[in-house]
Amino acid sequence: QVQLVESGGGLVQAGGSLRLSCEASGSIFSINDMGWYRQAPGKQRELVATITSDGSTNYADSVKGRFTISRDNAKNTVLLQMNSLKPEDTAVYYCNADIINVARSRFSSWGQGTQVTVSS
């Protein structure tokens, strides 16, 4: 069994910063891509940023230049540094990982989500 546990959400004023963290644990053999997605009320879940196992990154246009994704492969952890936050960044943020478990099965795993609220 594999778990993704997120932390770091909260309430911040516009222009402020937050850092989200997500740690994968359990019967993990390896992790391919990791990423962050978000879902605002009444909207579909959308990609925020992804990072491959060798560190290549991809960002949504709306967060480029403000958010930075990174990972620590030794700790099975992915981070999202969010700067210059805007009210439109308010959403529940979900961690995702493309995992191969010790049985060599491959699946996509999601965290439980962490709320980010940016006040104007």
Q: What is the pLDDT of residues 64-74, one digit of tens each?
A: 999 999 999 99
Mean pLDDT computed over 75-88: 98
What are the tens digits of pLDDT across the range 107-118? 999 999 999 999
Give percent above pLDDT 70 in the chain: 100
* H or E element that contains 110: strand 106-110
What are the tens digits of pLDDT across the range 83-101? 999 999 999 999 999 999 9
d(CA 90, CA 84): 13
In the DSSP assignment, the letter for residue 103 is: T
Give percent above pLDDT 90 in the chain: 99
Token pair recorded at residue 33? 């891509």
Question: Residue 45: which pLDDT band, with cuts at 50, 70 and 90?
Answer: very high
At 92 the pLDDT is 98
